[in-house]
Copies of this chain bind each other. A is one copy, B any other.
Amino acid sequence: MNYLLKDENSIYYECGYSCDNAIFVQLGSESFFITDGRYELDARLGCRDGVEIIIDRDLISVAKRLLISNNIRKITIDPQEFSLFDFNELSSGLGVDIVLHKSFSQKKRIIKTQKEILLLNNAAKLGSEAFDNFISNMQTNMLGCDEFRLTHFAKEYLSFQGRYELSFSPIVAINSNAAKPHATPTDTKLNNNDLLLIDAGLKFERYCSDRTRTISVKDSTNCSLSQYFDSQEKQKVYDVVLKAYNSAIKEARSGMKANQIDKVARDIVDSHGFGDYFVHSTGHGVGLDIHELPVISSKSETIIEDGMVFTIEPGIYLPNEFGVRIEDTVVMKNGKAEILGV
């Protein structure tokens, strides 16, 4: 099969190396990695054996010449990986049939190999350790700090002081700001008895971790799933989300459709009258990308299989009051979901 990749993670999956300016070309059994001179040394060190490295400023022209000189008739690309501009450059005067295959690389990556599961498990372990470190230092260092500073602390712990890349910019949100699923930091300062939501992850050898905890800030703050809130309403919502999270993980089975897993979590939230406040999907695949396939939503018909890795992250968001989300990343193994990193 002939295909052409432009996304950094899609390319990494094929080559074992990637950078922010590269094109990968697969022609039958031959693999080509095209980048510019800045990355030559790293590419030669990093790419798997058998990948031919080509250094040139004009990546697309090189790719076109490869297709023409190899008499290629048909090449597959993912229309999400190419800007319209790059596609027009590629297709102009090419005379090759370009097949558009949405999520081409993510579909190849949906079942993780044993090695990938090990890497994802390592990422999750480190992420879990970072959450523990972050939360156990909260009482000594973080009371009185605003969300900007708390987010910075989260980055410090999650990156292990710069050792690891982050999967995404952490969300650290207090009380009403936690009611926004994609909260950005504010001046609000952390006090005892606050509700604090932390959604964060790191990358281990490019594979992402993803976790969310919602905690009650107290003298004995900890990262466990048993949290005790002063407010009855917060406790009620927390317990519903926890039940949805536990049930979805417990009941997930290989062979189910993704929307059946979503339904397990959503039915519990619905049955307690909070259905309108669970405003997102139950989960998403995790791998080289922090969001990849499978999507665990009410619409997703994907059949869940062993080797798939995805989040379970039900949430309830009461606008201007507070929000609760609990999230872990699981792998399907022997037909069931196992939480990574424990």
Contact = CB atoms under 8 A, between A and B. Distances in A.
Contacts of A39: 182
Interface range on chain A (Cβ under 8 Å from partner)? 35 or more
Nearest to A152: B162
A319 B279 CA distance: 52
A228 B267 CA distance: 68
Contacts of A275: none
A260 B42 CA distance: 33
A325 to B, nearest CB: 13
A180 interface: yes
A12 interface: no
A211 interface: no
A102 B163 CA distance: 39
A61 interface: no
Interface string A34-45: 000111011000
Interface string A179-220: 011100100000000000000000000000000000000000
A66 interface: no
B102 A37 contact: no
Given A82-B84, A83-B84, A279-B37, A152 B148 contact: no
A161 interface: yes
A102 B79 contact: no
A8 B189 CA distance: 29
A292 to B, nearest CB: 16
A13 interface: no
A247 to B, nearest CB: 25
Contacts of A155: 155, 162
A64 B231 CA distance: 46
A180 B38 contact: yes
A181 B100 CA distance: 35
Given A161-B152, A180-B38, A80 B83 contact: yes
A72 B51 CA distance: 49
A311 interface: no
B80 A82 contact: no
B182 A38 contact: yes
A279 B152 contact: no
Interface in A254-298: 279
A255 to B, nearest CB: 29
Interface of A: 37-39, 41-42, 77-85, 87-88, 100, 102, 148-153, 155-156, 159, 161-163, 180-182, 185, 279, 319
Given A152-B159, A156-B156, 4 more contacts: A38-B279, A41-B319, A79-B83, A148-B161
